[in-house]
Amino acid sequence: MVDWSGGNDRGPTPKKDAIWVCAARDGVTDAPIYLRNRQLAEEWIKAFLAEEVDAGHRVLAGFDFAFGYPVGFGKALTGSDDPFAVWDWFAQRVKDAPDTNNRFDLAGEINAMFPGIGPFWGNGRKQDVPHLPRKGNDRSGHGLPEKRVAEQEAKGAFPVWQLAGAGAVGSQVIMGLPMLARLRAEFGRALRVWPFEAPDAPIAIVEIWPSLIAKAVTATMPEGQIKDAHQVALLAQTLSRLPPARLEAMLDVPCTTEGSILGLDQVRLLEEVAMAPATPPPLKNDCFAMPQGAHWTPVDEALAHLRAQLRPVTGVENLPIALAAGRFLAQDVQAARAHPPAPNAAVDGYGFAGPAEAGVQRMPLIPGRAAAGAPYPASVPQGSAIRILTGANLPVGVDTVILQEDVTATPSEIAFHGPLKKGANARKEGEDMVAGQTILTSERRLSPADLGTMAAAGIGRVAVRQRLRVGVLSTGDELRDPGAPADAGQIYDANRPMLSALIKHWDYTVVDLGRAPDDRAKLRAILDKGAADCDVILSSGGASAGDEDHMSALLEGTGSFALWRIAVKPGRPLALGLWNNTPVFGLPGNPVAAMVCALIFARPALRVLAGGSWTEPQSYQLPAAFSKSKKAGRREYLRARITDGKVEIFTSEGSGRISGLSWATGLVALDDPAQTIALGDPVTYIPFYSFEP
């Protein structure tokens, strides 16, 4: 969808009233694109259309200006009833450069061709233009209707005659039709213009009017976004989400020389589709509610609860695959074409029609060769061979390749020892992937290899979840920023740098929410800001039920609060809740407990909120280099590292000893029941690197 403009160059920084373009595919938008002037816009649009048509896609290209004038104008201007005659008339006469154009003069010249005064009016310049009145009321006797039928039906639409003043559209029609005329010339039969022609071509050009969905635009406008950008994006998304039959019905209108506005008789449907949220619905208020009881919740039960209750909270966007590594797929991905797309050589050598018999084989060598990207254009006669290089498509008549190292060649003949199976050293079409095959599934985190796989399968863009924004917050009056002066009653905020780095390592966006003092009003203000800026908040401290546990107290007031007493060591309660619909994970303040709870509980939870599948960290059974007896009831995580193939644990289990986290390379997990571990017994070791995003 294109939001066109009749004005001058708008400069390098994105602004309103410039040209904005946005593409949507399968209901998901690309990022809106700012184009500062018409010259750049025309270039961009041409390149975009050419690329999409080359890729075999169909494009519904909408432009927000009238494709025709009120009935009678074209005939009077050009002598013809063909609406394209008006397009060509303007294309021949409009002079356009980023900072100057002749639209007012041209409108005056047209007015001079009609009786009376008008129909065009409005002049954005200081200087008067011959035959162009400044006011609409100054016109009379020009004999043309004020509005097209479409504008009579579209409430609030401006007439095409008005060239200047707030809301005027006349200029962008004059400055737009020549561009459309050039697109027609450029794309020929591949482009059809609705409703003058049936839209049965790769490109269908349609007239749009974003104000049709004005209510939805206002209702869904993100803060700080430029309205023009949001408007084209929302309209593109809306049209792209329409069921094909509804779009087809929308396109089915009578053809007149005036043109029409797409969706004019389907405003309710468009509004409805436009209002359907692009971001998933918020989590339910009771999503953290655990069955009540005096018992401590086992770790596995707590994890199962998170897994069952959490949903993705981020929107979906289309990204070029090169930018999509680390993102979670929002849809399954199908191969756009076969890989390999055609049978080709797997080695450098000589191609012929196989098989080859046992014993010495001699074959005449035909001139020429087949190379990757330079296929041999003719067929190879039965019994002859041709020079062929790795990746070259097999020429007609070739299905087998002999490795060059196994061949004695002269300029006219090759000799080698058979036998060789038919099809040897050749790759079959689609042997790796066939077109249409699902190659990657939704919720997968895209790896570097996935980008390669998608590229090979002909995929240029992919629908992924927006990056999760995680707010990180520390709480407590005793905290000071690292490196700042601190007295003996104060300690340094260790959790925020630690948790922030963890979030960054998991490839989410960190939003630093700072430190909150033990003050309810201040914490409330920080939560308000955090909920507005983030998809989820990770806080530490103040999460129990004590006097200074303000996080718990505030969350309690939301009706969504749950204090999870999990049977885990280290770890005190986890405080969970929704602050203005944004999930809050209140981790224990104690750094070791904060880290362990982040790894065990927050990691999989954030992954699901970000649109990923639930995963468990990879663990290994290794002999213990320690002995220990453990009571029943709690899952214990010990700071551990591997020495000589055995797992040793940190000397102290004191959960304040943060240095033990640096000493360790992973955790030992001791299961809930009582157990006695002797030297050499197998224990479960989870390396830190297993807590992957």
Binding site for Mg ion (CB under 5 A): 476, 541-542, 589
Q: Which does 668 bind (CB under 5 to 8 A by kind): ligand AMP, Mg ion, none?
A: none
- Dihedral pair phi/psi, residue 320, rounded to 5°: -60, 145
Please give the residue whose beta carbon sits closest to ligand AMP in the complex.
589
Least distance from ligand AMP to the Cβ atom of residue 613, Å: 31
Least distance from ligand AMP to the Cβ atom of residue 551, Å: 8
Q: What is the DSSP string of 253-276?
A: ----TT---TTTT-HHHHHHHHHS
588 binds ligand AMP (CB under 6 A): yes
d(CA 478, CA 456): 56
Q: What tokens appear for 6 in the block? A: 């009749």
- Residues 589, 659 contacting (CB under 8 angstroms): no
Member of 118, 591, 611, 612 binding ligand AMP (CB under 6 A): 591
Query: 344 in helix, strand or coil?
Result: strand
How many residues does the structure list for the chain?
A: 693
Taking the least distance from each CB to ligand AMP, the nearer of 571 and 583 is: 571
- Residues 244, 26 contacting (CB under 8 angstroms): no
- Dihedral pair phi/psi, residue 285, rounded to 5°: -55, -30
Contact window for ligand AMP (CB under 6 A) among 34-42, 210-218, 390-398, 472-480: 472-480
589 binds ligand AMP (CB under 6 A): yes
Q: What tokens appear for 132 in the block? A: 């162009």
- Dihedral pair phi/psi, residue 93, rounded to 5°: -115, -25
Taking the least distance from each CB to Mg ion, the nearer of 542 and 617 is: 542
d(CA 401, CA 398): 8
Taking the least distance from each CB to Mg ion, the nearer of 573 and 589 is: 589
Q: What tokens appear for 429 in the block? A: 């079409």
Contact window for ligand AMP (CB under 6 A) among 234-242, 448-456, 585-593, 685-693: 585-593
Q: What is the DSSP string of 166-208?
A: TT--HHHHHTTHHHHHHHHHHHGGGEEETTTS---SSEEEEE-
Member of 590, 596, 606, 664 binding ligand AMP (CB under 6 A): 590
Residue found by looking up tokens 């990923």 in the block: 612
Taking the least distance from each CB to ligand AMP, the nearer of 464 and 661 is: 661
Taking the least distance from each CB to ligand AMP, the nearer of 388 and 537 is: 537
d(CA 376, CA 396): 9
Query: 439 in helix, strand or coil?
Result: strand
Q: Which does 471 bind (CB under 5 to 8 A by kind): ligand AMP, Mg ion, none?
A: none
> Cα angle at 514 between 485 and 282, to 5 degrees?
165
595 binds ligand AMP (CB under 6 A): no
Helix, strand, coil content of the chain in percent (nearest 5): 30, 25, 45
Q: What tokens appear for 203 in the block? A: 């490109």
Least distance from Mg ion to the Cβ atom of residue 523, Å: 11
474 binds ligand AMP (CB under 6 A): yes
Q: Which does 599 bind (CB under 5 to 8 A by kind): Mg ion, ligand AMP, none?
A: none
Taking the least distance from each CB to Mg ion, the nearer of 594 and 640 is: 594
**Which helix (H) or strand (E) is 29 found in, with range?**
strand 28-29
Taking the least distance from each CB to ligand AMP, the nearer of 490 and 615 is: 490
Q: Longest C-alpha distance within the chain, in Å?
A: 106
Least distance from ligand AMP to the Cβ atom of residue 217, Å: 43
- Using a 10 angstrom Cβ sphere, with 0-12 exposed, 13-18 middle and 19 or more buried, the burial of residue 484 is exposed
Least distance from ligand AMP to the Cβ atom of residue 590, Å: 4
Least distance from ligand AMP to the Cβ atom of residue 476, Å: 5
Least distance from Mg ion to the Cβ atom of residue 36, Å: 52
Q: Which does 344 bind (CB under 5 to 8 A by kind): Mg ion, ligand AMP, none?
A: none
Least distance from Mg ion to the Cβ atom of residue 589, Å: 5
Taking the least distance from each CB to Mg ion, the nearer of 85 and 486 is: 486
552 binds ligand AMP (CB under 6 A): no
Q: How far is CA 258 from CA 145, 147, 163, 168, 201, in A?
A: 11, 10, 18, 18, 21
478 binds ligand AMP (CB under 6 A): yes
Q: Which of residues 483-542 bind ligand AMP (CB under 6 A)?
A: 491, 493-496, 540-542
Member of 164, 543, 562, 599 binding ligand AMP (CB under 6 A): 543
Q: Which does 591 bind (CB under 5 to 8 A by kind): ligand AMP, Mg ion, none?
A: ligand AMP
Which residues in this chain contact ligand AMP in the complex, by CB under 6 A? 474, 476, 478-479, 491, 493-496, 540-544, 588-591
